[in-house]
Amino acid sequence: MIIRSSDAFNLPESEVTDEGFFRKRRQIVKAMGILPIAGLLPAPVEAVCESPLLNSDIGKANSLHQISHYNNYYEFSTNKQAVALLAKEMSLRPWTLEISGEVEKPEIIDIDNLLQQQEIVERIYRFRCVEGWSMVIPWNGIQLCKLLTRIKPTSRAKYVQFISHVDESSMIGLSLTGLDFPYMEALRLDEAMHPLTLLATGLYGKDLPAQNGAPLRLVVPWKYGFKGPKSIVKIILSEQKPETSWNKISPTEYGFYANVNPRVSHPRWSQRKENKIGELKKKKTLMFNGYEQQVAGLYRGMDLEKNF
């Protein structure tokens, strides 16, 4: 079942997690002091972005501990359990985000200004890694379309590239894999403008842990997890399709689109099922990770086996 709402937290109580966050969310929202509470604040200036359709049958959210202690962040380590400890060494302030390329109003924004200016929404999304594991994650973040609307893409802009931070002093994994850093990912402009696409700034109403990509990390819930670069420092709009890290290292395994698709296998394994972290029984992977109704239109007429 799908419901239309800008508020992800109108889920049945049965889906509530042990974090107790959902009961406490009103206090958190007040404490953050930045969410518009009906009637108290004027409507946001960039009201152009639609509210997305949100799925209600999403499953129980994983715990904060699960989400923050099973991570892929190759700049630190390929050991998912080791990332949390190693990422503590990365300095998160000062932090600036640079938006450039095919935009009318390029900007260099201080992260704390950005967090104050933009509306922070709460979104519980399914998360599916291309390796075959999954979670349900309650993110907080900024709708990317709000930011893109503000910097005004030019008529030539077709793609949006995201570039992660490189910190030689704390990232001890930089030379341990074949992956080139900085980590780079990209979306088509219409994918980036989709109301589900989020720049995550938090988890469970708290600051985003470093290991999950603090202070700013892309979340595209209908795509495999590698399409969500962490600790973003640059966003570049372009006319030509930009390079992306995993596609560059292994184009036959990692396509540009990387839409979750149980019918298209990875060359080395099937994508039909997934292992939700914390559950014993595997579950079926859903087309577009369960967001088919919202995003299938973006790919109408495309051969999804070729454009994987």
Ligand X SMILES: Nc1nc2c(c(=O)[nH]1)N[C@H]1C(S)=C(S)[C@@H](COP(=O)(O)O)O[C@H]1N2
Alpha-helical (H) ranges within 103-205 are 111-117, 144-151, 189-192
Q: Shortest CA distance to 296 belongs to which of 287, 307, 305?
A: 287
The one of Mo ion, ligand X, none whose footprint includes residue 114, by CB under 5 to 8 A per kind, is none
Give the dihedral sign, CA 63/65/66/72. Answer: positive
Q: Are 179 and 59 in contact (CB under 8 A)?
A: no
Tokens coding 240: 């030509």
In the list 212, 259, 271, 294, the residue contacting ligand X (rule: CB under 6 A) is: 212
Nearest residue (CB) to ligand X, 102 versus 231: 231
Q: What is the Cα gyration radius of the chain?
A: 18
CB-count exposure of residue 298 (10 Å: 0-12, 13-18, 19+)? middle
State in angstroms the smallest separation of the CB of 30 from ligand X: 27
Residue 102, interface with ligand X (CB under 6 A)? no
How many residues make contact with ligand X (CB under 6 A)? 15
Residue 225, interface with Mo ion (CB under 5 A)? yes
State in angstroms the smallest separation of the CB of 303 from ligand X: 25
DSSP-derived pairing of the beta strands 184-188 and 133-143: unpaired
Residue 67, interface with Mo ion (CB under 5 A)? no
Piece of the chain touching Mo ion by CB under 5 A; list 46-54, 73-81, 209-217, 225-233: 225-233
State in angstroms the smallest separation of the CB of 200 from ligand X: 9
Residue 228, interface with ligand X (CB under 6 A)? yes
Cβ neighbours, 10 Å, residue 20: 10
Cα-Cα-Cα-Cα torsion 238, 140, 222, 296, nearest 10 degrees, comes to -80
Report the SS3 class of residue 189: helix
In the list 129, 186, 216, 295, the residue contacting ligand X (rule: CB under 6 A) is: 129
Tokens coding 104: 């009318």
State in angstroms the smallest separation of the CB of 255 from Mo ion: 14
Report the SS3 class of residue 296: helix
State in angstroms the smallest separation of the CB of 80 from ligand X: 8
Nearest residue (CB) to ligand X, 34 versus 176: 176
Q: Which of residues 138-177 bind ligand X (CB under 6 A)?
A: 164
State in angstroms the smallest separation of the CB of 117 from ligand X: 24
The one of ligand X, Mo ion, none whose footprint includes residue 229, by CB under 5 to 8 A per kind, is ligand X
User: Tokens 């291309």, residue?
Assistant: 130
The one of ligand X, Mo ion, none whose footprint includes residue 52, by CB under 5 to 8 A per kind, is none
Nearest residue (CB) to ligand X, 157 versus 232: 232
Alpha carbons 124 and 58: distance in angstroms, whole number: 8
Chain contacts with ligand X (rule: CB under 6 A): 71-75, 129, 164, 183, 212-213, 225-226, 228-230
Chain contacts with Mo ion (rule: CB under 5 A): 72, 129-130, 225-226
